[in-house]
Structure 1
């Protein structure tokens, strides 16, 4: 453990980044439990004041960093991750949709977790060793649920990762998800502004609508557009989250009475009947955001076999959708 207390300054590329993400980038070996303990005891401070894990940082702010446990050696890290086999390296590289000197975009398959846990040994974070270790190792800048497929961005350098994460924090990343939902939402396009709160613990955790004044509730906003319908039973939706809450899209669609098909956690009777034999019908189709060093980065992910099965069952084809279904949409708010 380092016995030194440090004071760090928030850079331009980190403006708007959450405190927990700020720590995760610099000390990836510090887990959530360790960090939350430091935050609750007031050992981590921003501009002299106590903060929470989800506090957003501002350029120029000072962050007090208390003594932290030492990072495991590179040998230890390799043993923990286990050295990737040639087959695993090939598999990791096969997921790449786009790569340049700053960014890697992969098409994350449904069923593959982004990060590991007690019961999760195979995950995207482990596969990043395919590009090397240390500074060669790409960095995660956002997450997708285990069963959600689609575009996942990685920063190839610390600076690129910070700039990408900053774009997410400042809502400069325009994400388009495709989802198959039960029924036909009315109106056909709209804006869900329903705060959410986590209930339960660990694997049993679920996200539910809440009053914004309730302790632990977070503002959550989702824009939606209907792309196509399979009669009154199923709709193919484009969903755009304007906030990044856990299970936001899944909880919001359930909240308006149109659960995403294949979702055991947020199903209702109607979606359950339509979901037999299907996995989660949610796919991160497209992302558009400022490139870390130049211009605009736009990446699209082809359908994963899991959602492809849903498309085939209900007669949808990807070419029915416009490139950006939200280009002409008006924000009709629903609560």
Structure 2
């Protein structure tokens, strides 16, 4: 009997916001499909799996920005063939596309990601920003995502052009040395004195009608909930119009899945256009142009990002103006909005 196919040699995986809070064993099973569960636990116990270069136990929880080392492991031939076919399909079918550049040097690129575009392929998405960028720049030897944004969120996204830059910037995100501020338009008049939202969040899966696992959702839980992940959001009122809408500057101190959306909605002020946690009746109304221009997306934009340059150490501040569709809508809501 021929030996089982071997996964590529040592691989390092960046923990994204969707995976933050998972147990290490569950995280590995998602990334090592086709590997027996007993083998997953063996490579954890042996120390072959490393989290941020250190050993970790199966029940330890990964955080956004963690770097997880995956050793070579053997998988079933069927899984190997499927993975190879998927990788080839994504690469082959991804259209070449450049995105608006906010900053670029020999170490990194900062782009202004449009809404509706995933940052990478997978989970029902054929291709994303990184695949399209690689096709547009075939001469580039190295292009990797430093962090991620939700598909429906627009704004600043960093891509590393060298592995040293990738590691340095990911360390900054993990150690919370970066500054990330978003613009969000919410329904209602936000209380100016409500400036800090310190509410633990818990991820869970909806159940489909057939009993299978559905979409991921996030909810606020009690401070003493063992499944709650500490989550802190800072809120500043940028502008308000009568009692209908408020434009907020939102700075996240932790990077949980859907953190801004859930925190704001939990206060009774959902983000306009949010199709998961929003005011669905209002969203339907805003889809149709009337007194206001139609709004066909969520009003959440990664507006400002601060970080230390991975080589010079100089503090860099980038800003991405509101996309035209959000600027048009906000101008009609209140002419003094940016």
Q: TM-score range by the shorter chain?
A: 0.7 to 0.9
Q: Shift of the alpha carbon at 1:76? A: 8.2
- Give yes or no for contact 1:280–1:306 (8 Å, CA) kept in 2: no
- Give yes or no for contact 1:259–1:271 (8 Å, CA) kept in 2: no
Change (3 A) 1:128 1:93: closer
2:167 aligned residue (159, 162, 165): 162
- Give yes or no for contact 2:190–2:269 (8 Å, CA) kept in 1: yes
**Residue segments in structure 2 that go unaligned for 5+ positions in a row:** 20-27, 207-212, 288-293
Cα deviation, 1:122-146, whole Å, max 9, x if unaligned, reads 3112112135469723110111111
Aligned residue in 2 for 1:324: none
Change (3 A) 1:297 1:146: same
Task: Give the secondary-structure state (helix, strand or coil) at the position aligned to 2:43.
Answer: coil
Task: Give the secondary-structure state (helix, strand or coil) at the position aligned to 1:312.
Answer: helix
Q: Shift of the alpha carbon at 1:81? A: 1.5
* TM-score, with length taken from structure 2: 0.74
> What are the within-5 Å matches in structure 2 for residues 251-290 of structure 1?
251-268=262-279, 272=283, 275-276=286-287, 277-278=294-295, 279-290=297-308
Change (3 A) 1:185 1:3: closer
Change (3 A) 1:286 1:274: farther
- Give yes or no for contact 1:18–1:56 (8 Å, CA) kept in 2: yes
- Give yes or no for contact 1:222–1:241 (8 Å, CA) kept in 2: yes
Q: Shift of the alpha carbon at 1:42? A: 4.7
Cα deviation, 1:293-312, whole Å, max 9, x if unaligned, reads 11122211121234224313
Cα deviation, 1:33-85, whole Å, max 9, x if unaligned, reads 427968962523445541446158999xx96835366899999855432165x
Change (3 A) 1:305 1:221: same
Change (3 A) 1:118 1:4: closer
1:150 equivalent in alignment to 2:168: no
1:301 equivalent in alignment to 2:311: no
Aligned residue in 2 for 1:82: 92
Task: Give the secondary-structure state (helix, strand or coil) at the position aligned to 1:200.
Answer: strand
Aligned residue in 2 for 1:332: none
Q: More displaced, 199-208 or 38-47?
A: 38-47
Aligned residue in 2 for 1:181: 186
2:105 aligned residue (92, 100, 120): 100
Aligned residue in 2 for 1:242: 253
Cα distance in 2 between the residues matched to 1:259 and 1:185:
11
Change (3 A) 1:208 1:41: same
Cα deviation, 1:201-234, whole Å, max 9, x if unaligned, reads 4652211001244343211100010010111110
1:50 equivalent in alignment to 2:57: yes
1:230 aligned residue (231, 236, 241): 241
Cα distance in 2 between the residues matched to 1:230 and 1:139:
41
Aligned residue in 2 for 1:34: 32
- Give yes or no for contact 2:90–2:126 (8 Å, CA) kept in 1: no
Q: More displaced, 165-174 or 276-285?
A: 276-285
How many residues end up aligned between the 2 structures? 297
Task: Give the secondary-structure state (helix, strand or coil) at the position aligned to 1:163.
Answer: helix
- Give yes or no for contact 2:331–2:337 (8 Å, CA) kept in 1: no
Task: Give the secondary-structure state (helix, strand or coil) at the position aligned to 1:43.
Answer: helix
Change (3 A) 1:269 1:65: closer
- Give yes or no for contact 2:187–2:246 (8 Å, CA) kept in 1: yes
2:310 aligned residue (281, 289, 292): 292
Cα distance in 1 between the residues matched to 2:222 and 2:139:
44
* TM-score, with length taken from structure 1: 0.75
Q: For the aligned residues, what is the CA RMSD? A: 3.8
Cα distance in 2 between the residues matched to 1:290 and 1:114:
22
Cα distance in 1 between the residues matched to 2:65 and 2:117:
31
